[in-house]
Structures are given as structure tokens and as C-alpha cells.
Amino acid sequence: MKRQVIIPLAALLSVVALAGCAPEGNDSSTSSGTPASTTITFWHDNDKAMMDYLASAATDALKDEHIVVQAVKKSGIQDQIKLYGNDASNGPDFFFGAHDAIGAYAEMGILSGIENFASAETLGGFMESTVDAGEYKGTKYLFPLYAETNLLFYNKDLWKGEMPTTTEGLLQYNKSRVAEGGYGFLNQYNDTYNAAPWVNGFGGFVIDANANPGINNAATKEAAAYNAKFAPTMSDGAYDTITNLFLEGKADGILAGPWFVSSVKEAGIDCGYVSLSRFALPNGKGLAPYEGVQGFAVMKYAEAKKEAIGKALEAMADVEVAKALAKDYNCTPALTAASNASEVTSNEMIKETQYTIAQTAVPTPNIPEMGVMWTPFTNFLTAVNKGGDVDENAEKFQNEALQAIANMH
Amino acid sequence: MSLAKNNASKKRFDGTAYLYIAVVLLLVAVIVVFPIGYTVYISTTNMNLYHWYDFDFIGFSNYIRAFAQTNGEFLRSLGLTLLWTIANMVLIIFVSLVLAVLLNIKGFKGKNIYKTLLMFPWAVPSYVSILLWRIGIFNGEFGLFGDISRFFGGDSFFILQSYWGAFFASLMVNVWLSYPFTMSMMDGALQSIDQSLYEAAKLDGSGFWRTTFAISLPEIAPIVAPSLLMTAFMQFKQFDVVYLLTLQKGAQTGAGLQTIITYVHTTAFESNNYGLSSAISTIIFMLIALLFSRFAYREAKGRGK
């Protein structure tokens, strides 16, 4: 009796368990002679509605080709890609992410060059800087979709007077607002990414193309010392604090990127945007934020689906798609043909981002060593902003950065 | 003759017993032994970003590197972890003991309500608690610390940005999160003490302090010792408090505070050097195993007496 129950139950469990091992998204055809359909999947850790729109736009465009594109949201996508980088059964065919992680994936050997999937003509249709940002050791890996930079967001109801044209003007504005008991323009002044406009503007760098850390570079030190002048006027510079001060209508401005727009809209703030390139540093050059490029990269093991993936990418590089992303999600298109569309030119934030990219923006380094620079550079900035000796701390954290880089090997 | 028979049946019993626990042993091997063994194996390889799939055996190089790092980061984090463990244990024992003794004062009304309230830190997920502490208490602008500073005419200050400030803040949160477990153990142990001892002490004219140090503490010590030992190891490998308060991606405060576990995390997930981080993990495992076996041996010996 027991055996009669246990054996079928065990068989059922085995079938269920093994069914879980079946790969998702594969070629399928029906026995009735209907052409085979191909399902390709990309992972992302982005706005779900935007990614679903991209997948459905590509699926619609490829309806006659029987190609179905699926978008799957995965939190902590960088770790997920590393984990599934060699797992064709469970990993994605391609993924959507920022260009600065490309170098690490390329070194791991899990990516296929994007030129295997997109023609030179298609890639030539993107802004050159966005394609270059995804290039590592002579191979292009990224199919760019949009670019982003930090901008000055300001509350139109709070900002007093004309917008300054120099960083000195900004500093004076902040000082006067603090003296009045308010807040001027806020920034995460200890954060590497957010202090980069000062560092790059002074001619310094976090890390160069040859993986040399730039913490003890003379221009970097000068930039850090200048950045520290802003610290006393920017509250504690912590993300939670400054975003809340701005969203609660207590601060006049904040340094932020397109990812912050939805929160600003939800808070009902009448917000204006100014390119950081419009603020001249004491050396006469504009602030130079990092430029991030978001796009698709294809897994090496997905080369067998070359045709389907190539067609999906081409479909997503459509002008109408770029316009929709600009209109609904404030994305600055990488596609040159979309640059002059009304959806793009009428968007103040995109216009200012385009201006920054054209003027002073510096692509975030995509070499793997950049991944270990965030912590020592942030610690260096924190030490200087607290009044620590610039030279002493530059040497200390330069050594920490060198050690962190050595630890990678 | 009878002794031989006994021995034979004992042997047969042992064999059957192993058969019975074979499934459990297999599970333990898969869930516990295999990951440890695999970590030790990885620690002897050069598995890193540049050798993600094609890693080779490199012997004990990673262990030598861990101790010989030029900036001494590993040893510094190990030293800080020892200080962290000691400071936490002293505070946790003190806070727990005081609360447990107070809860056991005879005739104390509302004891159960207080006990429930005191267990509150245990009931809230630590992730939520830590973030609440970070924003609600330590934030220079909106937090309690900032308010206190401004009340006394000072400026807003952000305690998590300095090394020792972050250490103190992390310690505070960790004690808050950890005392309910120790307190409940001590409370239970105090309740199990034979009341006649207290009555006899009272007749002898013994006061509160004398009773506490001569009866309560010696009586509960053997009962709470294993839980304290466990708590000490939990403090040694504490991760989330220090990480979420000072090192969380996008919200790094620049305090530079690194315990041994956050250091391993940084090495593994920022440097992507799994060989080196596995070697450090193995060293930590050996340290804990060594200490634990020593304490367990002492305890077993104590019980044997």
C-alpha cells in the first residue's frame, strides 16, 4: 500500500524537479507546420515599465519574423551576470546595463563583441562617444541606447535671482542661503561620482586608461581642496539627507541625474535643469561630470541566436523608440537621428544633458580597476572635506587604491 | 563472557546507528562540509576576474598575501574585529544582565509588558532597524544626534563619517539588536534559581548586591555560558550593521571602518578576487573553530567534573 503511494509520488516529484531544469526561452515550433518562433531574453535592473516597453516594441517590430523579446528584471544585475556568465541554460541572452561594467565582463570572457550582432552602419548611427564608452581593449561590446550625466536640478519656486555662471558664484549663493538659514545647491560632496565634475574639471582623474589611480595627482588634489569649500554649505552631504531636503522643498537645488526625475515629479516640484558645463571653475573650464551610457551587451554563449538578437537590437535602435524613451522616461538618445526630434528638443533635461556631453562630460572609465576605486576615493574626499591634510590623505588613499588594484590579481 | 557479549552488541548498535543517521550525515556533508571544503579549495587557486573560469592551483600564495599585505589592511581589520567583539560582549552582557535582574525583582508589576517591549529589537528585521538608526538617529540633519547637537548650540554633525564615530554608532546599534537574546537567556536562567537560596540569604541579612554577586551570577553562569559563547562568535562575524551604516553602495560615508567580514566582502565583491577572499574566509573559519573547540572542550571538561 505504502509502496503504491510512494513510487508514483517519487516519480511525480522527479518529473517536477527535472522540469525546473529546463531552460527558459528557446526555439519552439508547432507540429501543425506554423513557423518556429524564437524567444530571446534580456535582463535589466532598470525601470520595469521602460524595459517592458522596449521588449514589446521589439516583439511588435519582429512579429513577422516570429521573434519574441522578453525583459526580466533582476536586482543586483552585476552580480547576477557574473554568476550566470557561463550558464547558457539559466542566464539571459543579453542584458541592459551601464557601460562602466563592460571591462570587467570582457575580462571574464562572458561577452560577445557587439559587432557580431549589429552592422557598422547601425553603430555609426549612434553618437560616437556612446559607442566608444562601451569599447574595451579594441572591441566594442555595448549597443548604446541612451546617455546620462549629472545636472543641477533647481526648484524654480525657491531659487533666488539669476543662475550663477561660475562655481564661485554657486559657492557664494550657497553661503548666503546658509546665512539666511536655508540651503542652496546640495551635493553628495564625499561621493566619488558626485565629486567627479570638480575632479575632471580641474584636469584630475580617479583612474587613467592604464589603471593608474589619480588620487595623488596634483590636479585631483587641487580639485578635492576646492570641493571641500562647498562641504560646509551642503548639510551633511549624505544621500538620504540632501534628497529629502530637496524633495521637501527646503533646498533650492541638488546635483542629480535623470533617475531622480520621477521622485521630483512625485513631490510636485517645479524643477529646472542646468548643465554643469555652464559653471566655470576658477581655471575657466566647466564642471565635467561623468557620462554614463546605458545599453545592451550580448552573452558569448548566445552567439547561436545571433540573427534573432541582431534583429531585436536593430528594432530597439528605431527613431520612434528613441522618441518614446525621451518623451516618457527623459532618456537622452544615443541615436543621432533622434537628436532633433521634437520629443527630444522640447525636453529641457535632455537638452542640458546633450549640452554637457558635447562640452565637458567624461565617460566613466570602463576598466575593471575602476570598480575598486570608489571606496578609497570616497574615503579620500571624506577625509579632505573633514579638514584633513590633502597631501597626506592623497598619499594614504593612493596606496590603498594601489593595494586594492593589486588585490584584483 | 557477559562483557564480550555486551561489547559485541555495542559494536552492532554503533553500525546501525550510523546507518540511521546516514541521510542526515549526507545532508550535513552537502550543506555544511561541501561549501567549507569548496571555499578551502578556491583559496588555493587564482580564481579572480582574470581567471574566472580557467583558474589554477597556486598553493598557499593567497594565505601568504593575506598576512603580508603592504598596507596591513587585513591585520588592521582583524584587530578592529577583536576590539569590536570584546566591546560588544562587555556591553551586551552588562545591558542584558541589568535588564534581566530588574525584570526579576520580586513584585515587579507589568513585568510581561516590559519584557515584550524589551524584545522589540529582536522582532524587527535587522535591515529595517539599521536603516532606521542611520536615518532617524545618526543623520546629521534629521536625526536625533543632530537635534541634540543643535539644541546645545552646536552644528549638525554626521557621526558615521568618522572612523571612531562610526565604530561607536555601529556598536550602539549592534548592542541594541543583540541584547534581547542574551537578556531572555539570563531571564530564564534567573527564574530557574532555587528561591530557597534567596530566602536563606535574606535571613542572613544579605542585600541586593550581595545576593546578585553571591547567588544570581554564579547560578546563571553555567546556564548562559553557551549562549554567550554563541553571541561572541556572532559578534566576531557581524556584517550587516557596519556594512549598512557605512559601506552600503551609493551611501558610503567614508568612515573607512572595516571589520574582517566587511573586508572579505570588499575583497570578494569589489576586487573580484575569490581566491584571496576565500583564503581570508578560511583563516576566519579556522580562528572561530579553534576558539570554539577550546571553549567547548573546557565546558565539556567542566561538566565532567
- In this predicted complex, what is the ipTM? 0.74
The vertex-B156 CA angle with B151 and B159, nearest 5°, equals: 115
Query: Residue A236: which of B70, B140, B273 has the nearest Cβ?
Result: B140
Shortest distance between the Cα of B130 and any Cα of chain A, in A, equals 14
d(CA B233, CA B236): 5
- Residue A34 has a pLDDT of 60
d(CA A135, CA A115): 11
Phi and psi, residue A338, nearest 5°: -95, -5
- Residue A88 has a pLDDT of 87
Query: Residue B267: which of A85, A104, A407 has the nearest Cβ?
Result: A407
Residue of A nearest to B69 (CA): A403
Shortest distance between the Cα of A35 and any Cα of chain B, in A, equals 38
A37-148+292-363 and A151-288+373-407 agree in CATH topology: yes
Q: Where are the alpha helices (DSSP H) in A212-303?
A: 218-230, 239-247, 261-266
- Residue A240 has a pLDDT of 82
Q: Is B52–A110 a contact, with Cβ atoms under 8 angstroms apart? A: yes
A361 to A25, A51, A129: CA distances (angstroms): 39, 26, 10
Q: What is the mean pLDDT of residues B269-290?
A: 85
At A340, the amino acid letter reads N
Q: Which of residues 255-294 of B touch A (CB under 8 A)?
A: 255-256, 266-267, 269-273, 276
d(CA B238, CA B174): 9
Query: Residue B71: which of A107, A374, A400 has the nearest Cβ?
Result: A400
Which pLDDT tens digit goes with each residue over A206-259? 999 999 999 999 999 999 999 999 998 988 788 888 999 999 999 999 999 988
Q: Is A236–B254 a contact, with Cβ atoms under 8 angstroms apart? A: no
| Beta-carbon count within 10 A of A10 CB | 10
Q: Is A374–B252 a contact, with Cβ atoms under 8 angstroms apart? A: yes
Domain A151-288+373-407 listed as CATH 3.10.20.310: no
Q: Is A280 helix (H, G, I), strand (E, B) or coil?
A: strand
Which pLDDT tens digit goes with each residue over A316-348? 989 999 999 999 888 999 999 888 888 888 899
The vertex-B178 CA angle with B174 and B179, nearest 5°, equals: 120
- For residue A277, pLDDT over 50 is answered with yes
Is B248 near chain A, with CB under 8 Å? no
Q: What residues of chain A lie within 8 A of the CB of B272, using their CB?
A: 82, 104, 368, 371, 408
- Residue B166 has a pLDDT of 92
**Domains of chain A by residue range:** 37-148+292-363, 151-288+373-407
Q: Is A238–B251 a contact, with Cβ atoms under 8 angstroms apart? A: yes
d(CA B104, CA B124): 25
Q: Is B142–A241 a contact, with Cβ atoms under 8 angstroms apart? A: yes
Shortest distance between the Cα of A249 and any Cα of chain B, in A, equals 15
Q: Which helix (H) or strand (E) holds A175?
A: helix A167-179
- Residue A13 has a pLDDT of 44
Which pLDDT tens digit goes with each residue over A153-191? 999 999 999 999 999 999 999 999 999 988 999 999 989
Mean residue pLDDT across chain B = 84
Report the CATH number of the B71-304 domain: 1.10.3720.10
Q: What is the mean pLDDT of residues B214-234?
A: 86
Architecture of domain A37-148+292-363: 3-Layer(aba) Sandwich (3.40)
Least confident of A17-21, A112-116, A284-288: A17-21
Query: Residue B141: which of A236, A371, A403 has the nearest Cβ?
Result: A236
At A73, the pLDDT band (50, 70, 90 cuts) reads very high
Q: What residues of chain B lie within 8 A of the CB of A383, using their CB?
A: 254
Phi and psi, residue A106, nearest 5°: -65, -40
Question: Listing from the earlier edge strand, what are the strands of the sheet with A251-256?
Answer: A183-186, A251-256, A151-155, A271-275
Give me the residues paired with residue A94 across strands.
A42, A298
Q: Which helix (H) or strand (E) holds A151?
A: strand A151-155
Q: Is there a contact between B214 and B206 (Cβ–Cβ < 8 Å)?
A: yes
- Residue B12 has a pLDDT of 56
B interface test, pick of A241, A366, A370, A405 with most B CB neighbours within 10 Å: A241
Q: Is B139–A108 a contact, with Cβ atoms under 8 angstroms apart? A: no
